[in-house]
Amino acid sequence: MQSPTAIAAIAATTETAQRLQALFGAAPAVAVILGSGWGGVVDHLQDAQQLPYADLPAFEPTGVEGHRGALVVGHISGQRVALLAGRRHTYENNDCTGMAGAIRSLKAWGVQVLVQTNAAGSLRTHMPPGSLMLIADHINAPQCSPLVGEPGNARFVDMSAAYDPALRAYARTLAQTRGTPLPEGTYLWALGPQFETPAEIRMFAAWGADAVGMSTVPETILARHAGLRVLGLSLITNMAAGLSHEPLTHAATLAQAQAAGDTAAGFLAALLQSLDEGTLASMP
């Protein structure tokens, strides 16, 4: 028997999907969670319609500067997309399920692909601030899962190809065509909100991490559990602790994200305008 909390969550997801259908019509194939520095892609939308998260029962509010908390639906060069301007972070309330309702509502609405974007610190000298990184894999350093307590065998999600290989290949080809450097790497999720110590960064590098941030991994787990394909992109905003003499602050991260935001938004817009249902259907 499901708990009253689980029943209420399912009802909220169903109501949210119905509301999205009523307000926006059929779901676009692709939805994007916009992390810090990626918000400029909203400026590429035509015929944009915006709805605050507060008007969607399954969406939780955001409480971090730079995450405004709104769903925006529109077209990029004729291609329809849904943009989630902001995410709930685990460090806000020590709950890694904060994006569960939103992601499950997108799936119930009919979305097929979730593109994840974030701001991250680099552990590799070949990825300085301002670089983009294609996420090939991740490390769940806190070992927290948003699927704890989920019933049934579906909770045992295969994460061996969490970041869709065909979508990654498509992004690499697009980057090469545009002349945009796009190294692939492993993203490590650190719980935060404090930044990492130099000793922790040395340990993470030894584990094989290439970039570190405070988001994305819980949402990827949720998306794969829901049956969505996932593509991940990081905007490098700083060198990680101990790799530069610059102090790490949230304000500095936001400033660097804004400075490099045009490059990130331009690449993401080009990616989104070409990812139609026909292209997706042709991928393995």
Q: Out of 250, 252, 255, 277, which one is annotated catalytic?
A: 250
Q: Is 92 a catalytic residue?
A: yes
Q: Out of 44, 67, 138, 225, which one is annotated catalytic?
A: 67
Q: Out of 82, 108, 120, 214, which one is annotated catalytic?
A: 214
Report the distance separating Cα 188 and Cα 122, nearest Å: 10
β partners of residue 253 = none
Q: Is 15 a catalytic residue?
A: no
Report the distance separating Cα 256 and Cα 2, nearest Å: 45
Q: Is 187 a catalytic residue?
A: no
Q: Is 60 a catalytic residue?
A: no
- The alpha-carbon radius of gyration of the chain (Å, integer) is 18
> What is the bridge-based pairing of β-strands 113-122 and 79-85?
unpaired
Q: Out of 53, 91, 163, 170, which one is annotated catalytic?
A: 91
Q: Is 283 a catalytic residue?
A: no
**Contact yes or no for 188/207 (Cβ under 8 A):** yes
Report the distance separating Cα 86 and Cα 82, nearest Å: 12
Closest among 115, 137, 144 to 233, alpha carbons compared: 115
Q: Is 250 a catalytic residue?
A: yes
Q: Out of 12, 15, 75, 92, which one is annotated catalytic?
A: 92
Q: Which two tokens stand for residue 190?
A: 């650190």
Using CA atoms, how far residue 161 sits from 115, 177, 223, 230, in Å, is: 15, 25, 13, 9
DSSP letter, residue 195: P
Q: Is 36 a catalytic residue?
A: yes
Q: Out of 29, 100, 119, 239, which one is annotated catalytic?
A: 119
Q: Is 53 a catalytic residue?
A: no
Report the distance separating Cα 96 and Cα 175, nearest Å: 32
Q: Out of 215, 226, 240, 269, which one is annotated catalytic?
A: 215
> What is the bridge-based pairing of β-strands 30-34 and 113-122?
parallel
Report the distance separating Cα 266 and Cα 175, nearest Å: 11
Q: Is 215 a catalytic residue?
A: yes
Q: Which residues are designated catalytic?
A: 36, 67, 89, 91-92, 119, 214-215, 238, 250
